[in-house]
Amino acid sequence: MRALKFLRPGRVAPFSKVTWPEPDEWLDADGRPDLCRAGIHAVLPDVLAPWIAEELWRVELDGAEALAPGILVASRGRLVSPVEEWNDETAREFARACATHVQEGATGRAAEYAADARASAEEAGADFTATTVGYMAAHAAEAMSPGGFSAEREWQSRWLAERLGVSTI
Amino acid sequence: MTTAPSLDELQLLDSLRQGDERAFAAFVEEHGSTMLRVARLYVRDRAAAEEVVQEAWLGVLRGIDRFEGRSSLRTWLFRIVTNLAKTRGVRESRSVPFSALVSEEVEDAGPSVPPERFRGPEDRWWGHWSSPPEEWGRPEHELLSAETRDVIARAIDALPDVQRQVITLRDVEGWSSDEVCNALDLSETNQRVLLHRARTKVRHALDDYLVGE
Amino acid sequence: MSVQEITCKELVEVVTDHLEGRMPPDRRLLFEEHVAFCSWCRTYLDQMRETIRITGTLTEDDLSPETRDALLEAFRNWNAQSR
């Protein structure tokens, strides 16, 4: 099954700190104590935004199950190809889009969150900073309307997937 | 997660029974430090702790033929050493039963990090760091230096009794959660709470040392 | 707060649960989602891991040569007696 995965520089998994092998070589969670409890995670395009890190990869999973909407866990996975479009420039575009999307109609606390997002957007890069802007913007959305946080994160993910050409993988 | 002796351990015991001095050397290599460390959980004085180890060793030799393998070797050793260490010396003059100590230390509530380091409820980002941790950014050799290890050793020494025991067995000795729960007769939850408290304090001590304040 | 998330203040209380693999999957996801954007909590988590790692290298409790000798002698005596 095809999915997407963000990794730290050098193909390093953000939580387990495991280095993924080169593309096409399988990574097996079962043989590794650091992975076997959590398994291998990947996301579908509509859940991209919260997981941003420096590298974005197309991955293939073996025996994947849904852990939560759009979040897959599998015992085996392999990298297929990097999403070249993902870099500091597109990350900044993303951050700006997130901030802009919550400017209109924001008042009171929502406006404060939106201002935080706007201020951070200019410094955002392909590391965690881009998703921090998204997080702030999502809080602005929540302040405008309950339930707005997750809806906003979804919007952000879809925007990003489309921008990077990975809406259908 | 086994609580029975491994094949290696059984072979080692067998060789010991046959008087094999290489097995003896292997045993001391493998378990000597642990026995001393466990003794020192109860007996502060180092020389006294070493005497406890010597006595414990006699206990091992006396019991070796009767060891049935119903527990792992290290649990068995642990019991021999602690029984002697406890009779031998008490660290503080408290004679509080173990279960009371556990309750005390588990309930030793209070947050892991001073609340003023987080934004308050009036802040739109309440619950987030207001005074975040600073990166240590030290090279490897400095983190593993004698000085740094000393800071940790002293921090562990300063912990309340059961927290000290749990972190020593888990993080210093590398015992599994099951083994520690078994040896100290703790529930998994209590063991985890105590480990959390201990690690939090030790991290804090290390942070103070590396970053200062 | 109606947003389902773990704050920094909550995270420092549950970091051991996470390292021990004792969080239910949905909580663990929230934990990781937070660490994904919060560099400060990432630092804290890394520092916890570092602390544990360095703690694991404590070795200064080696038996003294005198004790080793005493143990060996006891072993030899025992060996001689039980044969």
DSSP letters spanning A54-121 = SEEEEEEEES-EEEETTEEEESEEEEEEE-TT-SHHHHHHHHHHHHHHTTTT--HHHHHHHHHHHHHH
pLDDT single digits (tens) A24-43: 999 998 766 566 567 899 99
B200 and B150 Cβ atoms separated by less than 8 Å: no
Average pLDDT over residues A124-151: 95
Across A10-19, average pLDDT: 91
Question: Residue B95 pLDDT more than 70?
Answer: no
Q: Are residues A65 and A26 in the same domain?
A: yes
Q: What is the pLDDT of residue A99?
A: 97
- Give the model's pLDDT for residue C53: 95
* Across A135-144, B112-121, B125-134, C63-72, least confident range: C63-72
**Does A169 fall in a domain?**
no
φ and ψ of B51, to 5 deg: -65, -40
For residue A149, pLDDT beyond 80: yes
- Digit-coded pLDDT (tens) for C16-25: 999 998 998 8
- For residue A71, the distance in angstroms to the closest alpha carbon of chain C comes to 9
Average pLDDT, chain A: 93
Residue B127, Cα to own-chain centre: how many angstroms?
32
The answer to whether the Cβ–Cβ distance between B61 and C78 falls below 8 Å is yes
Domain boundary among A27, A61, A82: A82
Find which of A33-47, A71-85, B65-79 is predicted with most confidence, using mean pLDDT: A71-85
Tokens 């001393």 -> residue? B36
Q: B1: pLDDT confidence band, cut at 50, 70 and 90? A: very low
Burial class from Cβ neighbours inside 10 Å (0-12, 13-18, 19+) for residue B28 reads buried
Residue B67: CB atoms within 10 Å: 16
Determine the structural domain holding residue A114 and report its residue range.
Answer: 88-164
A99, A109, A137 from A113: Cα distances, Å = 9, 6, 6
Looking at the fold, whether A72 and A94 belong to one and the same domain comes out as no
Q: Are B43 and B83 contacting, i.e. CB atoms less than 8 angstroms apart?
A: no
pLDDT at B70 over 60: yes
Res B90: pLDDT? 57
- For B46-114, the DSSP string reads HHHHHHHHHHHHHHHHHHTTT---SS-HHHHHHHHHHHHHHHH--SSS----HHHHHHHHHH--S-SS-
> What is the spatial distance between Cα B98 and Cα B184, in angstroms, rounded to a whole number?
9
Using alpha carbons, list the distances in angstroms from residue B179 to A159, B57, B74: 50, 21, 9
Cα separation, B25 vs A116, in Å, equals: 64
Using a CB-CB distance cutoff of 8 angstroms, which residues of chain A are in contact with residue B124?
109, 112-113, 139
pLDDT tens track for B109-118: 789 999 999 9
The number of domains in chain A is: 2
Instruction: Name which of C38, C40, C50 is nearest B143 (Cβ-Cβ).
Output: C50
> Over 80: is that where the pLDDT of B38 sits?
yes
Give the residue-averaged pLDDT of B48-68.
Answer: 90
Averaged pLDDT, B15-30: 89
End residue of a domain, out of A13, A48, A82: A82
Angstrom distance (rounded) from CA B200 to CA B213: 17
Selection from A96, A92, A97, A116 nearest residue A106 by Cα: A116
Q: What is the pLDDT of residue A43?
A: 96
Q: In whole angstroms, how far apart are CA B101 and each of B82, B161, B182?
A: 16, 8, 17
Taking CB atoms and an 8 Å limit, are A139 and C32 in contact across chains? Answer: no
Identify the pLDDT of residue A37. Answer: 65
Verify whether the Cβ–Cβ distance C51 to B148 is below 8 Å.
no
Buried/exposed C10-34: b ≥16 CB within 10 Å, e otherwise: ebbebbbbbbbebbeeeebbbbbbb
Check pLDDT > 70 for residue C60. Answer: no
Q: Do C36 and A139 touch (CB under 8 A)?
A: no
**Subunits with at least 3 CB pairs below 8 A relative to chain C?**
A, B
Residues A154 and A123 in one domain: yes
The CA–CA distances, whole Å, from A168 to A45, A161, B207 equal: 7, 8, 46
Helices (H), C1-83: 8-19, 25-37, 39-55, 65-81
Instruction: Report whether pLDDT(A6) > 70.
Output: yes
Which one of A68, A146, A149 has the shortest CB-CB distance to C26?
A68
- φ/ψ of B197, rounded to 5, equals -60, -45
Residue A52 one-letter amino acid: I
Facing residue for B40 by CB, picked from C61, C72, C74: C61
Average pLDDT over residues B12-39: 89
- A contacts of C21 (beta carbons < 8 Å): 37-38
- Domain C8-81, CATH among 2.40.50, 1.10.10, 1.10.3470, 1.10.238: 1.10.10
A47, part of any domain:
yes
| DSSP-derived secondary structure letter, A16 | T
pTM, two decimals, is: 0.87
Q: Which residues of C are less than 8 Å from B192 in CB distance?
A: 16-17, 20, 22
A33 within domain boundaries: yes
Predicted local confidence at residue A169, as pLDDT: 80
Let me know whether A64 and A19 are in one domain: yes
Structure confidence at residue B94 (pLDDT): 55
Closest-CA residue of C relative to A33 is C21
Q: What is the DSSP code string of B147-161? A: HHHHHHHHHHHTS-H
Q: State the pLDDT at residue C65.
A: 86
Domains of chain B with CATH codes: 7-88 (1.10.1740.10), 98-211 (1.10.10.10)
Residues of A with CB under 8 A from a CB of C: 14-15, 37-38, 50-53, 67-68, 71, 128, 131-132, 134-135, 138-139, 142, 146-147, 149-150
Which residues of chain A neighbour C26 with C-beta distances below 8 Å?
68
How large is the average pLDDT for residues B119-134?
A: 96
Pair (A71, A97) in one structural domain: no
Give the chain C residue whose CA is nearest to the CA of B129.
Answer: C8
Q: Which two tokens stand for residue B127?
A: 């619950």
